[in-house]
Structure formats: C-alpha cells, structure tokens
Amino acid sequence: MFKSFSHIYIEEGIKDHFRTKEILAKFPNIIPISIRHYKDSFNRNSQNFRIQKESPKLILAEKKDHFLYPGSDFSPNFSHPHFYYNTLALNCIYDCEYCYLQGMFPSANLVLFVNWEDFFSSTKDFLEENKSLYLALSYDTDLLALESFFPATKAWLKFAESQPNLSLEIRTKSTNYSQIAKFAPNPNVILAWTLSPQTIIETIEHGTPSLQARLKAVNQAVSDGWNVRICIDPILRVPNWQTHYQSLADKLGKELKIEGITDISFGGFRMNIDFLKRMVEVRKDSSILFHAFEKKDKIVSYSKLETEEILELMSASLNNHFSPSQIKVSYS
C-alpha cells in the first residue's frame, strides 16, 4: 500500500501530546525532526511534489483554526442545507494522476492533525447553532487508508454515536473496512467507496487497491448493515472508455449486494483551473491532464458534449442493474 515513512516532522507544541506518542510508537525506526510550525516545512518554496511522492514524510501538527469548511461546488451535497468538510489530514498515501491535491498543495508530505478534540468541539458548536450538519471527513485525504496508524475514523464514528443530528460521509478507495467493522452501523453515517475500472486503477490510480478488493470491502459493509455509497467519479475519457465503464457497471450489477447500496453517484472530470495548471507542470507524464478541456470561469472540464456523452452512457449502463432512485449525477 505504501512504503514506511523514513522521517517524521513534529511541531514543538505537540511533541508530548498523547496522540503524537501513539503515532510515533507505530514507527519505531522513524527519524523524528522538531519543527516550529508545520507550514514551515509543508509550505516552503522550491519543493518537488513528484519527487516527494516517491518517499513522503509525516508531519504531526496542531490545527489552530478553521475546523469546518463549506463544501466545494465540485462535490455533491446530496441536497443537504449544511454541507461542510474538515481537514484531519492533508494529502493522501495514494497517487492518483487526476487528484487535485497535487495542484492544491506545494508538498507531497502527509500532515496529520492530532488535536481531534478541537474538531469535535467545533462540530458540536455548529450543531447547536444550526441543528444539523452533513460533514465529509475524507476530503483532502483518504482517512480510512490511514487508519492503522491514524485511527481518526474510529474516533469520529464514536463521536457520531452521541450526535444524532450529525451526518457523516467517509469516502475511501481503501480496503480497511476491517478497521471499523466492530462498530454498530450508524444510520447517519455513509461509507462511500470510489470505484473505477480495473484498467484505470492499474494505470492511473497508483498504489490503490484493486477493484475486486474494494468490492469485497463494500459487500462486507453492506452485509453488516451500513449505508454504502458508490462513487464513479471522475469518469475519465481514456482510450476505449465506453467499454471500460460499461463493463464496470455490469460488474457492479453482478457482484454488488444491490439492495444495500444507498446510491451510486457519477460525474466527469472537472477541476479548478489553477490546480490543473500546477498539476500539468509536475505531472507531464499523465496524458489525461492534457485533454482539450473546456474552460468556464475558474473551472476546467470536459466539453458539454463530452460530459453529456459520459452521463448518458453511465446512466444507461447503471439503469440495467440498479433502480433509477439509486442513481445520482454528481456533476453535469
């Protein structure tokens, strides 16, 4: 899944934090380096995202403010009036060529915020004022993929048990469901798996588990009674993309426990134009980033015609196996 980390940068203010010590205990051979503030390392100039991605380092830090952010227009809010996300971690252990993080962050190193209690407190305050909250946990990372050494997903599931007006979405490509399988399913929690054709996984979603392994995790979660969302997003116009995605829909229809799937969302590639510009600079080897995208305001996406073709094909393919009420367009 990932190479063990060689170095860990630790903010001076949290070197004695109990969670810092727990994480350090997971990596007995790691070289610790004391820093004043995580941004001194994470935001410094002249970093090379691609080189760092070959051997990323850990950075342990304290989040001082902004414990909740309004959800992006690029992400579906599923009609919830209060759609927010938080950032328990920055960056991901996977290396997907289309990931906006490589255009958003100057560093490929992984920042982990250890002061979860401040996130909980801020969430409680929001709920008291607004009465409800739809919170995406795994936004600028894949949180469940980190669970073996950064068990934040377990902590949030436990926290959610006492917050009936809190809805959580935990999105992942990992197969770490076993890490949280002991929890009783919470009807206000959605476990969301991003799925892609196996050829996309092998050539573009570097380091991620196979489609078959993800499907096994999905079916186990469904069997245990969890609300499960399937995300086919972004759909990429690679060579023979129609065949690959039609085959994916057929495979899902045959192998998923369909009645237990809350919904299936899908959409085409779209991104902030500034992020894409940076990504093209650091990832010149990725053909999917050099498509003749359509630009509108600060967004790049497939053309209207290309997007309509994607949505029509995927909708028709999924309708062969799933109820229309299960099928959602995440971006059109």
Asked if 113 and 11 touch (Cβ cutoff 8 Å), the reply is no
pLDDT higher than threshold 80 for residue 72: no
pLDDT higher than threshold 70 for residue 183: yes
Whether 282 maps to a domain, the answer reads yes
Q: For residue 193, count CB atoms less than 10 angstroms from its CB and return exposed for 0-12, middle for 13-18, buried for 19 or more.
A: buried
Q: In which band, very low, low, confident or very high, does the pLDDT at 76 lie, cut at 50, 70 and 90?
A: low
Residue 4 is which amino acid? S
As a whole-number percent, the residues of the chain with pLDDT over 90 amount to 89
- pLDDT tens-digit series, residues 286-329: 999 999 999 998 999 999 999 999 999 999 999 999 999 999 99
The predicted pLDDT at position 146 comes to 97
| CB atoms near residue 181 (< 10 Å) | 12
Q: What is the mean pLDDT of residues 79-99?
A: 93
pLDDT higher than threshold 80 for residue 77: no
Question: Which residue matches tokens 């490509």?
Answer: 173
The predicted pLDDT at position 3 comes to 59
pLDDT higher than threshold 70 for residue 64: yes
Give CA–CA dist 90/38, Å, rounded.
11
The predicted pLDDT at position 19 comes to 98
Give CA–CA dist 219/205, Å, rounded.
21
- pLDDT tens-digit series, residues 188-207: 999 999 999 999 999 999 99
Give CA–CA dist 61/12, Å, rounded.
9
The arrangement of strands across the sheet holding 133-136 comes to 69-70, 83-85, 133-136, 166-172, 189-194, 227-235, 261-268, 327-331
pLDDT higher than threshold 50 for residue 162: yes
**Nearest in space to 82 (alpha carbons), one of 140, 121, 138, 123:** 123
Whether 303 maps to a domain, the answer reads yes
Q: The dihedral of CA 257, 252, 151, 233: what is its sign? A: negative
The predicted pLDDT at position 1 comes to 44
pLDDT higher than threshold 80 for residue 21: yes
Give CA–CA dist 158/183, Å, rounded.
8
The predicted pLDDT at position 123 comes to 98
What's the number of domains the chain is made of? Answer: 1
pLDDT higher than threshold 80 for residue 264: yes
Q: In which band, very low, low, confident or very high, does the pLDDT at 80 lie, cut at 50, 70 and 90?
A: confident
User: What is the CATH number for 279?
Assistant: 3.80.30.30
Whether 305 maps to a domain, the answer reads yes
Question: Which residue matches tokens 């997907």?
Answer: 96
Whether 14 maps to a domain, the answer reads no
Q: How do 83-85 and 69-70 pair as beta strands?
A: antiparallel
Asked if 83 and 70 touch (Cβ cutoff 8 Å), the reply is yes
The arrangement of strands across the sheet holding 299-301 comes to 270-272, 299-301, 294-296
pLDDT higher than threshold 70 for residue 73: no
Asked if 13 and 19 touch (Cβ cutoff 8 Å), the reply is no
Strand (E) or helix (H) holding 230: strand 227-235
pLDDT higher than threshold 50 for residue 91: yes
Give CA–CA dist 332/330, Å, rounded.
7
Q: In which band, very low, low, confident or very high, does the pLDDT at 48 lie, cut at 50, 70 and 90?
A: confident
Q: Domain of 173?
A: 61-90+115-329
Whether 19 maps to a domain, the answer reads no
Whether 287 maps to a domain, the answer reads yes
Whether 34 maps to a domain, the answer reads no
As a whole-number percent, the residues of the chain with pLDDT over 70 amount to 96
- pLDDT tens-digit series, residues 109-156: 999 999 999 999 999 999 999 999 999 998 899 999 999 999 999 999
For 138, the token pair is: 């795994």
Helical packing angle, 116-130 and 152-160, nearest 10°: 30
Q: Is 118 helix (H, G, I), strand (E, B) or coil?
A: helix
Whether 313 maps to a domain, the answer reads yes
The predicted pLDDT at position 139 comes to 86
How does the average pLDDT of the chain come out, rounded?
94
